Every structure is written in C-alpha cells, then in structure tokens.
Amino acid sequence: MSHSLWSPGFIGSVCLKNRIIRSAVNDAQADADGACTPLQIALLRELTAHGVGGIITGHIYVHRSGMAGNRQLGLDRDELIPRLAQRALSSPSFPMPAIRRIPTLPVCLPPAPAR
C-alpha cells in the first residue's frame, strides 16, 4: 500500500494531518534555568506555518543531573510548567500534536558486593 507524504497518518490513536514529523532535536533555545523562551515559541509557530504534521520535542530534563547541554529545556521545578504549557499552546491554530521526549537515563549504582 502506498501513502503520500502529505496524506494523514497515525501514531497509535493520534491522527496527524500529514506524515511529516520534526524529529527530536535539542534546539538549545531555553534560558539558562531550563525555562521555555519566546525563541522556542517562535520556532513552533514557524514549524506550524510550514505544515509540519507533528513534533517530537527535544530532550527535556526532569532533574538537573539529567541536563545534557546548555540551554536545554527543563521540567525539574513546578514554576517551569506554565511556560512549557505556553509553548504547547503558543498558536491558536496549533494543528499538530507535540510529543514530549522525556528520556529515562540509566542510574549509576555502586557495584554489588562480592558474594
């Protein structure tokens, strides 16, 4: 079965208007504290205007130790939630799902004692 790149598609039960997905990349546009900035909101508006069917967000850390780079989006404190919500609702015509990428990182544990 052949599908056009521009035809609707699904990820699970989520319908996308087309099959163009912006991959998970770190846009490095958060502020130094991990908060969403107007630059990130402008980027989402631009992607929306150009017809992207869905967005997988860049890496979002949930604990400061999980921060992989400078100006990375964070979600390690409650006060960051409103700005992240603003990002998701930044355009009244935001016609696509935004899939949050919150990775689970391996925990470094001390070696098990010898038996």
pTM score, whole prediction: 0.66
Name the nearest CA neighbour of 51 among 91, 2, 89.
91
- pLDDT single digits (tens) 72-100: 888 899 998 887 777 665 555 455 566 65
Helix and strand numbers (H, E) in the chain are 2, 5
Sketch out the chain's domains with CATH numbers. Answer: 15-101 (3.30.750)
Dist CA 71 CA 97 (whole Å): 23
Residue among 112, 16, 28 nearest 55 (CA): 16
Tens digit of each residue's pLDDT (9 = 90 or more) over 37-67: 888 888 877 887 888 888 877 778 888 888 8
**Three-state DSSP state, 88:** helix
Cα atoms found within 13 Å of the Cα of residue 85, Cβ hemisphere only: 5
Q: What is the pLDDT of residue 97?
A: 60
Q: In what order do the strands lie in the sheet with 54-59?
A: 21-22, 54-59, 98-101
Residues contacting 12, CB < 8 A, separation 6+ = none
